[in-house]
Structure 1
Amino acid sequence: MNNACTSRWCRRSRIIIKRQWRRFEKHPMQLFWWLTGIITAIFILCIIFAKSSETAYTAFGSYFTALAFVGVIVTVLLQRAELQEQRKELRAQRIELEGQKRELEIQNCTAQLQRFENGFFHLLDNFKTILEESRNSHLMMSFKPSQGLLTPYTIIEKEYDINEDIQTFIATLFINLPISLKKLVRTYYAIIDFIYTHDAFKNTKYDYSKYISILNIYLENIEYAILFYTSILDNKKIKLANELHLFSHYALLEDRYIPVRPEHVLFFSPQAFGEDYEEYIRRHGLQGKTLEDFLQ
């Protein structure tokens, strides 16, 4: 029981001492006056009870030595308190600088985004004009649906054999593609490249998806089919289609303007397409198949 009380008293004493010491650390001059008072009181007692002048002289010397020691302690505490204040000021300055840096970054990103949107919507207006011109042109009829497949025609009405080599098929198709459609394809990928490489999305690549969606919303299945085939032999366009999901709205399950051969979708990764892809693969028995299986 006594041991428990002693232990409790010791803990309380340590807590009180720590609290008082923290108070002295914050206000060193209080410690100075406390110690000066205690030392002075001891000195006076020594003088009163001194039996000889030699003892008084020794006490007098010790008094000033003790005061000097107190002065050293207080000086150290003052310097420590000053350093702590400097650290607090430096920390506050650092926080303020970081806040200013973040604000400048936000302002810079906002300015970059504004510049991007100005350029993007200008390009989009141009793209819509080209798209409208190509749709109004009679040359768009060079692509005609036949038995649920996209059967390409040249402007001289010559139908190609869909069993020919894919490289020859695409090369011949692109050569004989109407000028308005070639212009449409070039403009589309110029806008995609503008979005993909712009500094506004340097740190947040996922943000450009909404602008690609704005661009793709104007396309119909026939334009997707044209973009699909004009991208097959271009590795850069294939990479863009895969990474940016360019054919996510290409309706592969419709009866019009779908790939000439089902295996042609294997030129791209599944991520290039939308929800129709899995069902399209299942319907045509392409599960587990790769492009190499059909190019041998």
Structure 2
Amino acid sequence: MKNDNYLFWLIGIGSLIFMGFTLYENYMYAVHLGSDKQGIFGDMFGASNALFTGLSFTGVIIAILLQRQELKLQRKELELTREEMKLTRLEFNQQNETLTKQQFENTFFQMISMYRDNTEKMTVDIQGVKSEGKPLFQAFNKKLNDDINTFMKNRFKKNNDNVEDKFFDNLEAEKLKLTINELVTIYERRYKSLEDEFVKYFSTIIIILKLVDQAKIDDKFFYISILKSHFTKYETLVVFYQTISQDPNNEFRKLVDRYSIVNDLEVKLIVNPNHFLNYKQKQFLNDYVTQSDKFFSTSTS
């Protein structure tokens, strides 16, 4: 573009020099003419006027071309300005996302610390045996299994003429007979005896799950995995029991299902493994339906 301007200026200056040279030559020619030949000079000067008019027109064209080049420069500067504004907006959005993520992480890890502190401070008395912190979940599950065994034993005796000694021979079969409703009933009875401590525990868990769920961040499962990494296997088992004891539309259960909180549960810890397998199957079907709904809603829109 600078080369084009240089060419225009060269043409313009060349035209001015040519016009000056022509005028000078005409003048010098007229000086040497006699009075009887002045008319011929006038005719020649008229031709020069036509030439000057043409050169003037050339100057106008050059001015237009120069203005056009200037407009191109202005458009390019405007495009660069728009691009710079776009980059500035993108940088602002990135900074905003970074700030949002930092604020979320600060809150998240504060909640994780609160969860750990609250868990360590938990104290329960299970039939005269005091348990504190994480070990209480194992103690709770042991007593819960005792309650389940007592229930199955009483049912076996009722159906087998009070023949208790055969119960342990049929223990595995009796475990598979345990329905999920029976399990939930036994769990809720044991849970109520320790409700004060467990309410605070599950309240903290649901606050953390809601915090992650409502956050405008990517990789939500990464932060969920951080929470899950703090769970002992017996703690995960209690969370599973609490989950299946809730209505499918319960907020706690929906969040546990959505983020697969108990999917890593050791099946051998459950009295009837079918309860966990059925739960995972329902969860898979619910996820499939949810993803299908999202797909079709996106396709129609």
Q: Same fold (TM over 0.5)?
A: yes
5 Å-filtered alignment, 1:23-62, equals 23-25=3-5, 28-37=8-17, 52-53=40-41, 55-62=43-50
Partners of 2:14 and 2:71 lie apart in 1 by 23
**Structure 1 consecutive aligned stretches of length 4 or more whose deviation exceeds 6 Å:** 39-48
Larger radius of gyration: 2
5 Å-filtered alignment, 1:1-296, equals 23-25=3-5, 28-37=8-17, 52-53=40-41, 55-132=43-120, 133=122, 136=132, 140=137, 141-144=139-142, 151=145, 153=147, 159=151, 163=177, 166=180, 169-170=183-184, 173-174=187-188, 176-177=190-191, 178-179=194-195, 180-199=197-216, 201=217, 205-206=218-219, 208-232=220-244, 233-235=247-249, 236-237=251-252, 239-252=254-267, 255-257=268-270, 260-261=273-274, 262-269=277-284
Partners of 1:46 and 1:244 lie apart in 2 by 97
CA 1:271–1:40: 2 relative to 1, 3 Å:
farther
Partners of 2:12 and 2:62 within 8 A in 1: yes
Greater mean alpha carbon deviation, residues 70-79 or residues 97-106? 97-106
Q: Deviations over 1:124-167 (max 9, x none)?
A: 1111123222661686433239xxxx84849xx97478746535
Partners of 1:153 and 1:159 within 8 A in 2: yes
TM-score by length of 1: 0.63
SS of 1:144 mapped into structure 2: helix
Q: For this pair of structures, how many residues does the alignment match? A: 239
Identity among equivalent positions (%) equals: 21
SS of 1:219 mapped into structure 2: coil
Partners of 2:236 and 2:190 lie apart in 1 by 18
Letter in 1 for 2:242: T
> When you count helix as a share of all residues, which structure comes out higher?
2
Partners of 2:118 and 2:223 lie apart in 1 by 18
Structure 2: gaps spanning 5 or more residues: 30-37, 124-130, 156-174, 288-301
Partners of 2:146 and 2:16 lie apart in 1 by 104
Q: Quote the offset at 1:52 in angstroms.
A: 2.7
